[in-house]
A and B are shown apart, each in its own frame.
Chain A
Amino acid sequence: MKRSGAPVFWLLFGAGGMLSALLGPALVFITGIAVPLGWVVPSGVMGYPRMRALAQHPVGKSLLFAVIALFAWHAAHRIFHSLHDLGFHKSMLAKLACYGGALALTLVTAAALLLVGF
């Protein structure tokens, strides 16, 4: 019997779903609303030296990678299955577009995190 890749996709979906439920609202609020409008958080919170240090720190690097990659895999899995409800039935093309997109974003994130240095 051919082994199914489904458990792997399901695991990434579950991990990304949990992480986005835990951190998603606060992250969107900080990076997309509070910092641009200068609310709540002190200015310079997302300044270059600070964010560079965050991306170079092993903990910060792991967190950034986990957030972006798992959000992408979670969304890809869910969008892939929702396409069915919109009348696009399961096809290799749909699968490649969804999971391929998540894979591409994961690789771009990994490359950027390596380029930032340690």
Chain B
Amino acid sequence: MSRDGVARRPYLRTMDSWWRRNPYFVRYMAREATAVAVAVYALVLAAGLVCLAQGEAAWNAWLAALRTLPAVALHVVLLVAMLVHAQSWFAIMPKTLPMIAFGGRRLPATAITRAGWAATLAASGALLAAAGWWRP
């Protein structure tokens, strides 16, 4: 019933599968879906931290759970999603950052995107090195 008392059924276009009809929007939704992967990984890490706080037995149970096939398969999917996320994050970075001038010229978008990937490579190398060499 509308406000003036006249019963009408206004036309509402359905939202079912609207994005599946256009490859541009399929890519858009795939990019947005990577947020779910980020959330799932935050949950996995938080679960590990709770286990760590509970003691050695709980921590080892969490590690054992990570060694199961479904867990490894999940992390392969999460890794791909994280890479897609990084790719889209650095691709839009030239638009989200304030304009950077360098020697009187605007820094080109590709330079910003490449700098982002270089930072990720450096951070990944540092993490792997820390995993190998850091001793408490």
Identify the A interface with B (CB < 8 A): 14, 16-18, 20-37, 40-42, 45-46, 48-55, 57, 64, 67-68, 71-72, 74-76, 78-79, 82, 85-87, 101, 105, 108-109, 111-113, 115-116
Complexed CA–CA distance, A17 and B87 (Å): 11
Tell me, yes or no, whether B50 is within 8 Å of chain A by CB.
yes
Interface flags, B99-136, vs A, CB<8A=1, else 0 = 00000000000000000100110011001100110011
Chain B interface category by residue count = 35 or more
On whether the beta carbons of B119 and A22 are closer than 8 Å, the reply is: yes
- Shortest beta-carbon distance from A58 to chain B in Å: 13
Tell me, yes or no, whether B4 is within 8 Å of chain A by CB.
no
On whether the beta carbons of A48 and B56 are closer than 8 Å, the reply is: yes
On whether the beta carbons of B46 and A112 are closer than 8 Å, the reply is: yes
On whether the beta carbons of A31 and B45 are closer than 8 Å, the reply is: yes
Contacts of B16 in A (CB 8 A): 87
